A and B are shown apart, each in its own frame.
Chain A
């Protein structure tokens, strides 16, 4: 039972982190009808900014954290302005391929900078130690896992207030519902796209910090963790923010349970599943869910498939 709770706690923390990247995917998809494959790379960019500032330059962690996140948002905005704005009206497929190009570009530059040795991110809780944890009735919770979960909850609440109450939040919803009608109201759709990318970039870098921060290392393979938000949005439905959150939690929990119960599963199926099966399992879940619901659990039916 303790192991089950432990797996659940770790799964929820992971899922919360994925949900931040996943919401970025959904925001861009809803606004522009394009799945931006550059999201995972942006997550790593965020972690890289934080690492460069906090470790290499010795900037106090929290300042590095905030500056890194804002810088990633700005980078994301620049990407939208330079690469995606000229593509407005072009076929969705071309734009999606373009985002893969951006993803490769960012990753190449990052891989070169990261190098072969893992890089460290700053320590948010110096008094506790980065790997610090508390023990609640046998369940060991890392501070980083708790803060990842709380951050995701706070960010999601703030976003939903933004979408409900603020002028630009409502304008974003209107634009994703009917772009032409939004234009007719005098909404500057270009500004809305820029804002969407800015927010998506910041969300990605939040997640980037926790994904790499959770293991406290930034390596050339960190983006693979961030990429796991993709099965999450596919499961949840590309155009649904609640779907993105639920999908992320499913992915996170799957990963957690498989990691802890792989031995039991192997004895159940009767053959070895291989090491690191927990990293493959999310894609397996995605496969099964797509067979049953091709548009995802919460997706609109007529949404195109990827």
Chain B
């Protein structure tokens, strides 16, 4: 279980981005985290994997723990060693390096298993096998996303955090990525899926959290969220006639801040 308790994050000492976020990812599940731009989704992932420092962010409150072990403010390399891998938003593959070199870098903390992990990842993504010697920058967008996911799998993670894997991909490729996520999950990897594509994310995941301006405003099993009137309206673009609400701020009946410990 990966659990985040009452997390508060401040950028540049002044910009409060997360205002007490709490959620849990039970082992073996796929959990999705939805929200519009700037709601703090990526910051949540950064806090977990220790990448806040490089962006001048600090965790000012709260704890993050994995399987009962506190990992708040750990170094990124230690967090990868604890079995948490991240796929960065926008893929961020090493474009100048070859496909295989990218994969080897993913296994940096786990060098002795690199050869067998490369075989495993290339079996999962046969398309990368054909281009394994080529420069990664020449791959198409979908292939780059697969490489980014494959690279993250190289460290044998128990938890995989995906930041917008559907970004900039054609609908057909989004379906393919969704299938892959299910497949990876069925091999025993717990997945946190951060997405703007709510439809895809909720169809894949078992539980969904919805974020707005640094708070989690709603959480429910995914199938319930898919049926929820507000979610359908704000995230799936299914506005009933004559309504013009755009955010949970406009929803009076819902308790906006979820308090985990109350």
Tell me the A residues contacting B by CB distance below 8 Å. Answer: 89, 167, 170-171, 173-174, 177-188
Contacts and interface: CB of A to CB of B under 8 A. Distances in A.
A181 B108 contact: no
21 contacts: A167-B104, A170-B97, A170-B101, A171-B108, A173-B96, A173-B97, A180-B92, A181-B93, A182-B105, A183-B51, A183-B54, A184-B49, A184-B76, A184-B80, A184-B88, A185-B105, A185-B106, A186-B81, A186-B155, A187-B77, A187-B105
A167 B94 contact: no
Nearest to B96: A177
Contacts of A181: 88, 92-94
Interface string B122-135: 00000000000000
Contact of A178 (B94, B108, B109): B94
Contacts of A89: 54, 56
B32 interface: no
B95 interface: yes
B111 interface: yes
Interface residues of B, number: 28
Nearest to A186: B80
B19 interface: no
Interface in B53-96: 54, 56, 75-77, 79-81, 86, 88, 92-96
A187 B81 CA distance: 10
A162 B79 CA distance: 27
B151 interface: yes
Contacts of B109: 185-186
Given A167-B111, A170-B101, A188 B94 contact: no
Contacts of A180: 51, 54, 88, 92
Contacts of B96: 173, 177
Contacts of B111: 167
A188 B80 contact: no
Please name the 10 residue pairs, one residue from A and one from B, whose CB atoms are nearest each other, closest first.
A186-B80, A186-B109, A181-B92, A183-B76, A186-B77, A188-B77, A174-B94, A185-B105, A177-B94, A184-B86
A174 B88 CA distance: 15
A188 B111 CA distance: 14
Contacts of A171: 105, 108
A184 B51 contact: yes
Interface in B187-237: none
A188 B79 CA distance: 11
Contacts of B106: 185
Contacts of B51: 180, 183-184
Given A170-B104, A177-B97, A184-B51, 9 more contacts: A167-B111, A170-B97, A178-B92, A180-B88, A183-B76, A183-B77, A185-B108, A185-B155, A186-B80
Interface in B99-118: 101, 104-106, 108-109, 111
Contacts of A185: 80, 105-106, 108-109, 151, 155
A193 to B, nearest CB: 13
A174 B80 CA distance: 17
A171 B96 CA distance: 12
A85 to B, nearest CB: 13
Contacts of B101: 170, 173-174
B216 to A, nearest CB: 24
A49 B252 CA distance: 75
Nearest to A179: B54
A188 B97 contact: no
Contacts of B79: 186
A245 B95 CA distance: 24
Contacts of A173: 94, 96-97, 101
B74 to A, nearest CB: 11
A178 B148 CA distance: 14
Interface centre among A173, A182, A183, A185 (most CB of B within 10 A): A185
Contacts of A177: 94-97
A183 to B, nearest CB: 4
Contacts of B151: 185
A186 B79 CA distance: 8
A89 B56 CA distance: 9
A260 to B, nearest CB: 40
A180 B54 CA distance: 7
A189 to B, nearest CB: 8
A33 to B, nearest CB: 13
